[in-house]
Chain A
Amino acid sequence: MRILVIEDDRDAADYLVKAFREVGHVADAATDGEDGLALALDGQYDVLIVDRMLPKRDGLSVIGTLREKGIETPALILSALGQVDDRVKGLRAGGDDYLPKPYSFTELLARVEVLARRRGARTEETVLRVGDLELDRLSHQVRRGGEEISLQPREFRLLEYLMQHGGQVVTRTMLLENVWDYHFDPQTNVIDVHISRLRSKIDKGFSQPLLHTVRGAGYMIRDGAR
């Protein structure tokens, strides 16, 4: 995957480029808005990571200009401003995700991978499958190995989100934002308990677990047999 990092702090930019390369992606960096825009206009990237405040051209303006020119490369906005209204502004300007600083690289990576695969992803499918687990988004039925599993509405949403991003790491914050629509830190890791409940419903009694904990990052649902 090709990633463009537009970030004026050279240290942070270098760190990100290096870290992305280490996990097997190709990454370039630009340190001001104009350079960033020029590079992004080539359209060779799968994901853009754009700092909100940049010299020469503001991050939101970079994204806005790209969108005006019909370039729909997914963009993640990084910002020191972490409030809800700042996020809303960022998303309205054409950003696809918003991550407040300071962030952890695992969180950023998880979000970037989700963004990159979102195009042509499984959002339109009505039946999601991971291994022998099957989730029907229309009838709200979940089966594993043909056997029906009954889930609470929120558990269903949780599983649906995980399965939409099957094979990808999903962080706790991503779950909190997308399944609960909360943008704050609930102090205690309440998400872990929800996951373990869900796990007991879908994995218990099966030899092959599907819902995995990725240490230090989050969770992933995948077919272990693969």
Chain B
Amino acid sequence: MTALGKLFRTTTFKLTLVYLTVFALFAAFLLGYFALNTRRLITEQITETVNAEITGLSEQYRIGGIRRLVIVVDARARRPGSSLYLVTTFNGDALAGNVTALAPGILDNPGWTETAYRRLDEAEGPARPAREAHPVHLALVRVFQLPGGFRLLVGRDLEERERLYRIVLSAGRWSVAIVIVLGLAGGLFVSRRVLRRVDAMTETTKTIMDGDLSGRLPVAGTGDELDRLAQNLNAMLERIEALMQGLKEVSDNIAHDLKTPLTRLRNRAEQALRSAGNDAEYRAALDATIEESEGLIRTFNALLMIARAESGQARDDMNEFDAAEIAHDVGELYEPLAEEKGITLKVEADVPARLKGNRELISQALANLVDNAIKYVAPQAGPANGVAPEIVVQALNSGDRILLTVADTGPGIPEADRGHVVERFVRLEQSRSQPGSGLGLSLASAVARLHGGELTLEDNHPGLKSVIALPRGGPLQSAG
């Protein structure tokens, strides 16, 4: 496709053409209307003048008879720029006036006519031979029958009217031509500019499609719709890149955290086959195998949950409910377990905290946080760090957000590590020995993000305070 062909096919250019046609038609219509109206106006003026003159001259004739009329007409006919006059007898012999060469038979029909004519002075004046070539002009005349058989003809030259009409017409043609030329040029200019930017975008998109996810669309900084589009596409690319990165990390982690127990599973089965001698030993090996596979299923389910929360599928299941109720329910579920481990678990959620979201997922996120807290506080339970072991679950209203917090008196998490504990599978070195898939915080974080909120980890002096902050109204559609 040629560059020009491409240009003509742009949306901008097509739009320009449409506008151009509309404007040209409008201009033509406007000027045409103007021309016709002007013509009508001039004709009206002529008619009025001629009527007034005829009335005046008839009056002269009534007062002073034909002689007086002839004198007045002669006088008027000589004035420069005068109207056209002719007074004749009833056989048509001219008595006075300044016109000749009228179309034959004009004088026989009283009333208005358009006719060709020649001025007397032109016809006789040898000084103006050039005018002889175009001796004929056009006039609008009225023939009036005077009492006594005389006829009076009064008229005005139409040259002025015709000239004006022609000027307006040619102005019309020119302006339409200018509109078209300027419009086309402007359209081409704008289209080329837009086309150049779109071409740049297309180019970048191609490199991105070829696999270079770090590419970003150029933003001109003008804040127009193309910029907004580019910015949004860039945000989308950002998200895709993060997701791809996440996917890669997850597959690495899955490889590690699922393959390790799978290997153990297999080893155990192999060893049982190889060395178990009696029923009891087989039984023990099978029990261990089942336990191991249960752990695997658990990890797998948690991963699926996270994937589901992160992909936003669960957004369909959002309802309004009271987060304070959830805090009480989850607290009630874990309270016996905490007590058994010598930990005081308190729920502080006396004020309703209504919000829109997925009740099941939020319950699970909170349950995970409480479960984690119990796991990490438990080894410290007792007087070891001088603080009575305690976990406080809260549901708070904070402006347009609902905060679900779990604060414990455990060892806490060093500030530098807080960011990456939320990532999937990451567990701090010292806790690798603890049971659990290590996905609790990741899930809580994914659930928070699904709702347009976030999970933050804070210092509880001593201990850890996990906060799930959720917008009251549920996730906005635009939220990442």
Contact = CB atoms under 8 A, between A and B. Distances in A.
B364 A188 contact: no
A185 B333 contact: no
A188 B317 contact: no
Nearest to B305: A184
B124 interface: no
Contact of A188 (B294, B302, B371): B371
A182 interface: yes
Interface string B50-70: 000000000000000000000
Interface string A189-200: 010011011000
A182 B337 CA distance: 17
A196 B337 CA distance: 10
Nearest to B365: A184
Interface string B182-226: 000000000000000000000000000000000000000000000
Contact of A190 (B333, B363, B436): B333
B236 interface: no
Interface stretch (A58-66, A79-87, A119-127, A206-214): A79-87
B371 A82 contact: no
A182 B371 CA distance: 15
B374 interface: yes
Contacts of A25: none
B301 interface: yes
A140 interface: no
For the residues of A in contact with B, the DSSP-based class is loop
A184 B306 CA distance: 12
Contacts of B302: 185
A10 interface: no
B367 A184 contact: yes
Contacts of B329: 180
Contact of A184 (B317, B332, B363, B375): B363
B440 interface: yes
A193 B337 contact: yes
A139 interface: no
Contact of B374 (A182, A188, A194): A188
Interface in B378-412: none
Contacts of B290: 104
Contacts of B364: 182, 184
Nearest to B302: A185
Interface in B401-460: 436-437, 440
A187 B298 contact: yes
A106 B392 CA distance: 37
A154 B332 contact: yes
B344 interface: no
A85 B316 contact: yes
A85 B305 contact: no
A193 B316 contact: no
Contact of B336 (A84, A186, A194): A194
B340 A183 contact: no
A187 B78 CA distance: 121
Interface string A122-154: 000000000000000000000000000000001
- Residue among B294, B333, B334, B367 with the most chain A CB within 10 A? B333
Closest 10 CB pairs of A and B: A193-B336, A184-B364, A193-B337, A190-B337, A187-B371, A197-B336, A84-B360, A186-B367, A193-B340, A194-B336
15 contacts: A83-B308, A85-B316, A85-B317, A154-B332, A180-B333, A183-B360, A185-B298, A186-B367, A187-B298, A187-B371, A187-B436, A187-B437, A187-B440, A190-B337, A193-B336
